[in-house]
Structure 1
Amino acid sequence: MYKTKSWGFDGADFLNCAVSVNTHLDCQKLLATCLSIEKKLGRARSNKKGYSDRPIDIDILFFDAEVINELNLTVPHPHLQDRNFVLHPLHDIASAVEHPILKKTISTLLAESLDEGIPEKIQRWLKNPQQELNLSRYNYIAIEGNIGAGKTTLATMISEDFNAKLILERFKDNPFLPKFYEDQSRYAFPLEMSFLADRYQQLLDDIGQYDLFKDFMIADYDSQKSLIFAKVTLSEDEYSLYKKLHSIMYKEIAKPDLYIYLYQNTERLLENIKKRGRAYEKDISENYLVDINQGYLNMIKNRRQENIKILDISEMDFVDNRVDYSNLLKQIIT
């Protein structure tokens, strides 16, 4: 962080810094988010020309190597190469990044800068909130939940934010799934058997192949999922055979050291299923979802000795509401 004299007007000193951010937002949505943050922190924009004191000012300097020229946004920032209070903190975190238009690195731009102002580096550091959320103490996290609960989305978000190896269930390739939703009694057994084999093979491959560049593994399903769905869909004799095969196959498969169950009420589940628009899921009944949820809860009761967290997300929107996402992460950590 740097302290600099006011630039372009006579006023109080400024504090300046540069941050590197990963985001799933496009540039316009990122701009809207930045403006929203400014507003929440007390900035009131006006149409007056020139510069003035303000509690916060967030600029998008770069967006990868994109060049954007729109009415409300120009990227790279058109004046970043002229201002030492930008170049100094930017040089600290991205000295080798090349300006996509000027074709010069930040290091070169700083060396060639004509700005005579010298920012004063101060001993004050911004704190990365993710450093308080230590998920890497786990080797293997499994996120489970009913159909449409959001387990794949959450697992993907955590993998991106915390450098985890992502293991996603490859259900889309299962040829029996659409047939099952049309005729459950006929296709339940071949569907569950194919899932049993596919999940076993995938977990065997993915868990066994360590990625030295990732801090831990996170999956959107667990081996017990097969038993829960099979218990609901199969006859008693079929389930008995299925359970024996499951026990033999998964005997040596590593178990997660943190198991997260995402609970959503049935109404929200049906809304989410409808929203994602998979044709073969359109006829999923409320009773089927209730049975699956009860199956998960029964399984959890029998695994009390393990590290299990049940998180009610029925009133949360962790995708579009960052506060909900942060609160969910805190519940996982604590």
Structure 2
Amino acid sequence: MEKFVAVAGNIGVGKTTLVQRLCDNLGWTPFFEPESDNPYLPDFYQDMQTWAFHSQVFFLTRRLRAHKNLSAHPGSVIQDRSVYEDAKIFAHNLYQQKQMGERDYQTYQELYQALVEFLPPPDLVLYIKASVPTLQGRIKQRGRDYEEQ
């Protein structure tokens, strides 16, 4: 891998659009976040405290695999949603909101730290923002059932 840029931000903020435009203009390779096939999501949305850890470990595993694949790419890459967001934002927020218990959170963080040591970090992280009404409108417009929870 030559250069590695990660794009971060809320759901519906425009990460995929930005990644595609940058890659089209720069001739880089995009690595997109796959649409969710997390088998824990329906359970998670019904009972976050019970399923937060399981769901986050699933996402972490998927993103670690994606990161491994992009690090083997010979050219420059831009990634839509990185492994760092999982640990530093999503799992952390679930813990702070008391949706993930102390023991599960510590286990998750230890797993994350042990695995991320083997990954090359991004050269640049682009964080993009939009207002909550804008995000809600985009999510509704896309019509993905699992996003509207």
Whether TM exceeds 0.5 here: the answer is yes
For 2:90, the aligned partner's letter is F
| Pairing partner for 2:62 from 172, 184, 198 | 198
- Tell me, in whole angstroms, the C-alpha distance in 2 between the residues paired with 1:245 and 1:204: 16
- Tell me, in whole angstroms, the C-alpha distance in 1 between the residues paired with 2:39 and 2:17: 23
Specify the alignment match of 2:91 in structure 1.
230
Specify the alignment match of 2:121 in structure 1.
255
For 1:275, the aligned partner's letter is Q
| Pairing partner for 1:189 from 25, 47, 53 | 53
For 2:65, the aligned partner's letter is Q
- Tell me, in whole angstroms, the C-alpha distance in 1 between the residues paired with 2:119 and 2:109: 15
The 8 Å contact of residues 139 and 257 in structure 1, kept in 2 or not, is answered as yes
Structure 1 length as normaliser, TM-score?
0.40
Identify, as 1 or 2, the structure richer in helix.
Answer: 2
Change (3 A) 1:240 1:171: farther
- Tell me, in whole angstroms, the C-alpha distance in 1 between the residues paired with 2:113 and 2:135: 30
- Tell me, in whole angstroms, the C-alpha distance in 2 between the residues paired with 1:242 and 1:171: 23
The SS at the match of 2:117 is: coil
Specify the alignment match of 2:26 in structure 1.
162
Query: Identity of counterpart residues, as a percentage?
Result: 32
Gaps of 5+ in 2: 95-99
- Say what the alpha-carbon RMSD is for the aligned residues: 1.6
For 1:188, the aligned partner's letter is A
Deviation (angstroms), 1:270: 1.2
Gaps of 5+ in 1: 1-137, 284-334
Deviation (angstroms), 1:163: 0.8
Deviation (angstroms), 1:246: 0.2
The SS at the match of 1:209 is: coil
Specify the alignment match of 2:97 in structure 1.
none
Specify the alignment match of 1:14 in structure 2.
none
The SS at the match of 2:108 is: helix
The SS at the match of 1:172 is: coil
The SS at the match of 2:121 is: coil
Structure 2 length as normaliser, TM-score?
0.87
Structure 1 consecutive aligned stretches of length 4 or more whose deviation exceeds 3 Å: none
Q: Check if 1:220 corresponds to 2:80.
A: yes
- Tell me, in whole angstroms, the C-alpha distance in 1 between the residues paired with 2:131 and 2:102: 28
- Tell me, in whole angstroms, the C-alpha distance in 2 between the residues paired with 1:187 and 1:269: 25
The SS at the match of 1:249 is: helix
Change (3 A) 1:183 1:176: same
- Tell me, in whole angstroms, the C-alpha distance in 1 between the residues paired with 2:128 and 2:37: 24
- Tell me, in whole angstroms, the C-alpha distance in 1 between the residues paired with 2:93 and 2:86: 10
- Tell me, in whole angstroms, the C-alpha distance in 1 between the residues paired with 2:35 and 2:41: 8
Structure of larger gyration radius = 1
Say how many residue pairs are matched: 142
